[in-house]
Chains A and B, each alone.
Chain A
């Protein structure tokens, strides 16, 4: 009797308090939105095949890129890893029966669904054309459904806050005997740091969006200068949340990579303390760099200087992580399983994403690159090349634990290869056109950029194909895949001690931890 078969029927899912089932419901939801956001992305890329705006009207195009961004950010990537894999894995990895507040956990999911309904309403009635950033005063003036969309994001924020609170308490209070902070798997550290940011930063977004709603509904001037507001103030508020949100998006990815590399290379992580501490450092400094989105907004030069400096300060802990992952491979026993291939792809893609951030942090260079496709490429390398690749890698790593089935390795490698090639083709060409001056959010463009746009569009098709292929063989494995062994990769952290798939309350008896999460039997005895 595992958690999937313990209870039957529709209701047993909708009213479940089991963190594993809630995690799966999140997984289905976020992946559906990933698909929807991806469809909008392909529509955008299709329009950009030619320089003229000839496929859709400008207004339609503006809605497509807005919906792509808003769906991907608010409905997919922010909840992605924590709410799905995090929910599933945290109690298992710390040897607990469930999260601290199971009812609250279910409530978070329903709040998420409610927020999503507001987005559906927006989509069907009036749509949205402000860009996912909702910059004022455009967003206080446009005729599209800004109010329902911002309320949607506002509600989704609450889901995020509640999940964060739940995780923080769970990690503090429910660890198995012997599972000290120094023995926590790094994924747990990363999710912990993420949860802290979620709880502290999200309220600011909530207030900002609420002010925007009040301005639109009652004409009280906060951000619209025609009624006495300050449009740049909105940007400060917005990025005060949205920069830390970047770390809400990427830190869980970091955590996953630490797990994948250690398990599939049979090594202890190189520099456990440095990696754990750098997650926390990034979470803290990440609160103080928001102004790097505003170097050309007219903010004071002094402010720009401070923000630029702190931005470079966050780069150091990030670099430490990458170096540590690479060093972990040293003298390991590296298996090229699908999860490991994704981890290697992550190192490649995230390095490009991180390094191109240095261009944008240097103020003078950012003046030229700001709001061009260079920025678009940069954050896709970080968010998609980083978080999404880690997410997919994580799904492959824990798939046997989630469903008790193995997918076909051959197809998985092909999928990973297509995604890698397609991704680079799509976004590397955007670096080139961006630094050559192509602005973002353009429905039509001057012909000199056509070749780069075409490469990008071709890449997006290959990428889409790779993703669809991945979805197909994963779904196929649910029904026809080989039964997964209890611990296919030989993981040492607690989730691999549970049955596959786990039983309803995870463990038959309370596990006790006596060693680190990466003490694999292959490791030679330390002679020192």
Chain B
């Protein structure tokens, strides 16, 4: 169906989908066949041998070794075929080609970030070139997550303190959903990103422009900050409307004085915000648990500046409620 995916499977946009789809369809066919057979025979018997009189005689049959052998061996053989096929294709899904482009992935409650081998490029959406194998080396900063791209049929758990690897080769330009499929708490279903597949030359242009956040070309720094506030999941802990969440609200934060756990009072300025993002454990605000994850390596300088500009934009009105 012209790139819309079949009824059962989503769009396919990667060379790795063949390892799943052919086998899926094969199993689907077999299962449908067996299911129809079982239901047909059941309905047939149920109708044909329905009780017509209370004294209806029934057959003394209590087994048939030949038949039992047949219906053990045939499914047995089919299952072995499916097993071998499934394992072979799994190995193809596991082993990335040598020349693959390597990108590092960090999963954290509740955002993904992608670090490129080119200096300073860190994004919240995965931008990749079409027609080139990409190898993702993934790790979690907190609990388990799982990296799933339905359009590529790839999935791999992302574990703290352990690297896991998954690869794909996108075959169609476009945007595809990334889901987290290992339950990870409050924001689990919000842990969404996209794979943006660009043509080879567009990708090179993007790299040359320093890999800015997708769609941020020509946007003000404040807007980029707003975008990151959402994409980097700051919003799951920090509100912008004055309500207190896991962390302090951003409303009226910039320029205010905050009391720290250490007892010191501090002015929230550019430097303090920067430090709070890179090394949140250093100056913990009074009355809040020290649970903010570090964003070191997941935000580059430009992005931190954008966040500071964004905080400034909602922080300068001194009216705190």
Contacts and interface: CB of A to CB of B under 8 A. Distances in A.
Given A355-B34, A432-B7, A138 B63 contact: no
Contact of B146 (A304, A358, A362, A371): A371
A319 B75 contact: yes
Which of B83, B177, B185 has most chain A Cβ within 10 Å? B83
A323 B19 CA distance: 31
Contacts of A141: 142-143
Interface string A512-527: 0000000010111110
A358 B56 contact: no
Interface string A318-346: 01101110110111111110000000100
A356 B86 CA distance: 15
Interface in B126-185: 142-144, 146, 148, 150-151, 153-157, 159-162, 164, 177, 179-185
Contacts of A309: 83
B63 A270 contact: yes
A320 B68 contact: yes
B22 to A, nearest CB: 9
Contacts of B177: 437, 446
Given A358-B31, A436-B9, A522-B55, A226 B79 contact: no
A289 interface: no
B288 interface: no
A505 interface: no
A304 B87 CA distance: 8
Given A347-B42, A522-B55, A358 B60 contact: no
Given A59-B186, A367-B153, A333 B148 contact: no
B23 interface: yes
B153 A331 contact: no
Given A225-B162, A336-B50, A351-B38, A368 B20 contact: yes
Nearest to A320: B72
* Most chain B beta-carbon neighbours within 10 Å: one of A131, A274, A298: A298
A272 to B, nearest CB: 7
Contact of B150 (A305, A327, A436): A436
A268 B60 contact: yes
B82 interface: yes
A200 to B, nearest CB: 26
Given A58-B189, A364-B20, A525 B146 contact: no
B38 A322 contact: yes
Interface in B285-312: none
A524 B155 contact: no
Nearest to A364: B89
B185 A129 contact: yes
Interface-central residue, A138, A270, A351, by most chain B CB under 10 Å: A138
A231 interface: yes
Given A59-B186, A138-B185, A329-B45, A320 B82 contact: no
Interface string B263-305: 0000000000000000000000000000000000000000000
B165 to A, nearest CB: 9
Given A137-B144, A364-B20, A436-B8, A225 B160 contact: yes
Interface in B40-66: 41-42, 45-46, 49-51, 55-64
B259 interface: no
B210 interface: no
B143 A265 contact: no
Interface string B1-38: 00001011110000000011001100110110011001
B8 to A, nearest CB: 5
Task: Name the interface size band of chain B.
Answer: 35 or more
B190 A351 contact: no
A363 B155 contact: no
B24 A365 contact: yes
User: Which of A131, A265, A308, A333: most chain B CB closer than 10 A?
Assistant: A333
B171 to A, nearest CB: 16
Contact of A297 (B38, B87, B157): B157
A361 B83 contact: yes
A432 B64 CA distance: 38
A309 B84 CA distance: 8
A304 to B, nearest CB: 7
A266 B68 CA distance: 21
Given A58-B187, A267-B59, A333-B49, A363 B90 contact: yes
A442 B146 CA distance: 13
Interface in B235-254: none
B180 to A, nearest CB: 7
Interface residues of A, number: 92
B94 interface: yes
B23 A364 contact: yes
A231 B189 contact: no
B319 interface: no
Contacts of A231: 143-144, 159-160
Interface in A286-327: 295-298, 301, 304-305, 308-309, 312-313, 315-316, 319-320, 322-324, 326-327
A525 B55 CA distance: 14
Contact of B61 (A298, A330, A522, A525): A330
A332 B49 CA distance: 6
A432 B8 contact: yes
B39 interface: yes
Q: Which of A295, A309, A327, A439 has the most CB of B within 10 A?
A: A439
Nearest to A318: B75
A53 interface: yes
B62 A269 contact: yes
B161 A365 contact: no
Contacts of B38: 322-323, 326, 347, 351
Contact of B91 (A135, A301, A442): A301
Interface in A221-236: 225-226, 231-232
A486 interface: no
Contacts of A298: 156-157, 159, 162, 164
B277 to A, nearest CB: 21
Given A298-B164, A355-B35, A365-B23, 7 more contacts: A225-B161, A332-B49, A334-B51, A364-B85, A365-B86, A367-B90, A522-B58
11 contacts: A135-B182, A231-B159, A231-B160, A274-B63, A298-B157, A323-B38, A335-B50, A336-B46, A356-B31, A359-B27, A524-B58
Top 6 A-B pairs, shortest CB-CB distance: A437-B150, A362-B86, A331-B59, A364-B89, A442-B189, A329-B45
Interface of B: 5, 7-10, 19-20, 23-24, 27-28, 30-31, 34-35, 38-39, 41-42, 45-46, 49-51, 55-64, 67-68, 71-72, 75-76, 79-80, 82-83, 85-94, 142-144, 146, 148, 150-151, 153-157, 159-162, 164, 177, 179-190, 192
